[in-house]
Chains A and B, each alone.
Chain A
């Protein structure tokens, strides 16, 4: 199967601002047939997409809470339906926040421990390589990707966390360069260094760091590319 035949849908809310980056990377780096989904298109049939990306940004200016208003946008009904039917869906940064607000993933985002916006490169330890988002990643691999967020401090109750752990839904944790999951390598105070989780069925993942900004060597890291490569591999092998 040619990558060109894989169809990716990228949601666009007012204030989304990583939509164009995801679009360009999917198209020009991975050769995927990407297109935008405008937030008001409530009846759009999402079935035609092989996967959906909810990109980062400041949907609705982050008013009320990050992701709260977008989660209640017309298109989200179709998005929820798509997820319920097992569709592959990746939420990046604000997209992760939207997935939490929409109830598609468990937990909440608090403001960073520093109470500041943090933009920097972080390292991620891959805990589960048997997901549509990580199936091309080497077991235990450490990936370098940038974060850029104000509210990335993931929190969930102990019982939720143990559920996530049991179901292998904790996919990425912040770590140091060598893969050590340490307090010093946690950029935002996330509970247990959690950077990315999936839903119970494994078809929806939220991730705070930006894989689209780390898919080309010239930008300092190609590691984020593994996530897109995994999705493509998974779809091809499905």
Chain B
């Protein structure tokens, strides 16, 4: 007994208490098959046992939401009988062990979640976090992860239209790969995993089952020890060509109404798909393990159940339609085998070697533990104080510092990354990667016979989060991740609709980490409620930490808390989409909103004064809503030529990027702002980040009507606007202090990463 128990803790990641609980539920010790199933389904990755109590507090309904969390992905109403289906998921642990396959299968997995629902994937995004740019392993991780994402997404023919790449030393020992996919479907063509009927045949389709990915879910629910390389076999191997065939075959079978219910085999493969489908449908299943197509002969039942081989689906289909279903999968050259049946009794009966092998109760397996883990305010937070700016001298050469900021790897263009992704396939990408939010049209809107003027609906996507600010203030960081996405979407001419979240944290067993988690979720919740963007899907990735050797002893390297938000926005007219870059010489530059000038957490404080660990400004969420509504009104009126928020790198960066990212020309600006009137020092004005303000441009000398309408909009929302300069050619000038040549900066901006 002790031996098995030890094995449970060592190999399967269950705690001693969980092992006791399982024994109690079964009325005996579990055998190795049962232990395998329990360990997967009760893993943090599959059960959300530490996070559930917090996730329940998030807003998940209202607005355009049709289906919230619980299914393979969330669904929102896109009007005209169309729905959009989206979700973001982490693939951090596999990507750290094997970055190419880890990131590739992360992309493959999230796309499967989308087409399982009956939606054709139409765009991918990703949020990537690597160690410090100068860390010796960063180039390896960066190139392999990007190659993996491109390998899978490009072959699938789904454009990768945006995302973010962030470098920070907190990820030196744990990189993050969060992948987002959105798909489009008809409202009456959504497929769920909860619709199994008694008598349906359980069908296994797709790739054969192999030895890859076994214990993947368990692995992703543990921190890394010093023997990371031993976990390589837990990483899945991706085959995007097979997934492309699976996509076409599934959509064809759905179109022909041959599928009753469906779930993809993601984490914990056949185990989670069979138990979750049975549970959600309130039914049971017979599963014939002899029928499972195998890549490796002689796999044991537990290996078959835990394999995370990719490109597989479990389908429930009406008996009489099986032949037709099989014909579709035959056409695409894919396995399609009868693997069981849906039964009334809520158990799963496994057949192996033609005999009943095991019978497991669905409720017992599915209703895993739920923890309210202890929380404790982190020690370090007591030292995080607001910046006392008078203790810091303004650097003598602000121009040199400005160059350092605009060429910093976290600011500079990621063109070398996103050109490795096919972003133009689908003929829907109206605003490509490299600007704030991606803008996509649907059904060929705004082109072809409907010549541009007519317009047509489209959607906007953005993903991001700032782990430094979350580290310094978990609540504000969580709220900021949501508002920042919304700012990008609003600035590009859309209105925010719904979000998905990927919550990347260190070990939940550490009360200080759990405290960060609780407050970050609270921040997301507050912002999501105010901005009316329900959370319709997402995932939690804990245990992003690694034991490291340090001289004689060991220590644990933990990531900063990293909540990442993926946001969807709508636009009624894709032709009104706005890019953040300046358009023409002579256009007037305005500051819309107000400035706080808080430098806590900023890149400036790190680069100029060697310490970013100070308190960021609080967010005024009510003001934020007014500000974004005001900006949206101005854009919808057609008054603006560009709009951009003030994020990392401050106003200087917002202005500089606007000047140099115009693909057609190189522009500059001359800005003169009365900073004393704002009560700010020059460094506060130039570099404070995440201000509740936008930089907007309008035509030169707007006419009287436009002026009065603008004034009325500003008044309505109670937002200030101030002219601060004009768009010029050639140079970037601010208050006679900053003076940089645009062409030189442009060249360095595009070649730094």
Contacts and interface: CB of A to CB of B under 8 A. Distances in A.
The answer to whether A binds B is: yes
Nearest to B574: A218
Contacts of A60: 241
The 9 A-B pairs with the shortest beta carbon distances in the complex, nearest first, are A61-B241, A17-B157, A216-B447, A29-B448, A28-B448, A58-B155, A218-B446, A148-B422, A146-B424
15 contacts: A15-B244, A21-B425, A21-B427, A25-B427, A28-B447, A28-B448, A29-B447, A117-B154, A117-B420, A118-B420, A210-B424, A216-B427, A218-B430, A218-B447, A219-B430
A61 B332 CA distance: 13
Interface residues of B, number: 36
User: Which one of A57, A119, A210 has the highest number of Cβ atoms from chain B below 10 Å of its Cβ?
Assistant: A119
A57 B147 CA distance: 17
B386 to A, nearest CB: 44
Contacts of B447: 28-29, 215-219
Contact of B241 (A58, A117, A120): A58
B429 A219 contact: yes
Nearest to B415: A120
Nearest to A59: B241
B367 interface: no
B422 A212 contact: no
B239 A61 contact: yes
Interface string B421-459: 111111101101000000001001011110010000000
Contact of B419 (A57, A61, A118): A118
A236 B150 CA distance: 41
A38 B423 CA distance: 26
Given A62-B155, A217-B447, 10 more contacts: A17-B156, A58-B157, A118-B420, A119-B424, A120-B419, A148-B422, A215-B447, A216-B447, A218-B441, A219-B447
Interface residues of A, number: 33
Contacts of B418: 119
B240 A119 contact: no
A229 interface: no
B420 A119 contact: yes
Interface in B129-166: 147, 150, 154-157
Interface of A: 14-15, 17-18, 21, 24-25, 28-29, 31, 57-58, 60-63, 116-120, 146, 148, 150, 210, 212-213, 215-220
B435 to A, nearest CB: 12
A122 to B, nearest CB: 11
Nearest to B577: A218
A21 B426 contact: yes
A57 B444 CA distance: 20
Contacts of B628: none
Nearest to A31: B449
Contact of A58 (B244, B423, B448): B244
B333 A14 contact: yes
B115 to A, nearest CB: 14
Given A28-B449, A117-B420, A118-B420, A219 B425 contact: no
Interface of B: 147, 150, 154-157, 239-242, 244-245, 332-333, 418-427, 429-430, 432, 441, 444, 446-449, 452, 574-575
A116 B419 CA distance: 9
A120 B448 CA distance: 22
Nearest to A61: B241
Contacts of B427: 21, 24-25, 212-213, 216, 219
B418 to A, nearest CB: 8
Contact of B245 (A15, A24, A146, A218): A15
B150 A117 contact: yes
Contacts of B147: 116
B332 A117 contact: no
B618 to A, nearest CB: 40
Contacts of A14: 241, 244-245, 332-333
Contacts of A29: 444, 447-449
Nearest to A27: B448
Contacts of A212: 427
Contact of A117 (B239, B421, B446): B421
Contact of B240 (A21, A58, A210, A215): A58
A213 B425 contact: yes
A21 B333 CA distance: 24
B413 to A, nearest CB: 13
A58 B154 contact: yes
A150 B155 CA distance: 11
A30 to B, nearest CB: 8
A217 B419 contact: no
A61 B147 CA distance: 16
User: Which one of A15, A62, A217, A220 has the highest number of Cβ atoms from chain B below 10 Å of its Cβ?
Assistant: A15
Contacts of B239: 61
A25 B426 CA distance: 11
B424 A213 contact: yes
Contact of B244 (A17, A117, A146): A17
A94 B423 CA distance: 16
Given A28-B444, A61-B239, A117-B150, A218 B575 contact: yes
Contacts of B422: 117, 119, 148
Nearest to B239: A61
B346 to A, nearest CB: 39
Contacts of A150: 154
B419 A218 contact: no
Contacts of B426: 21
A215 B424 CA distance: 12
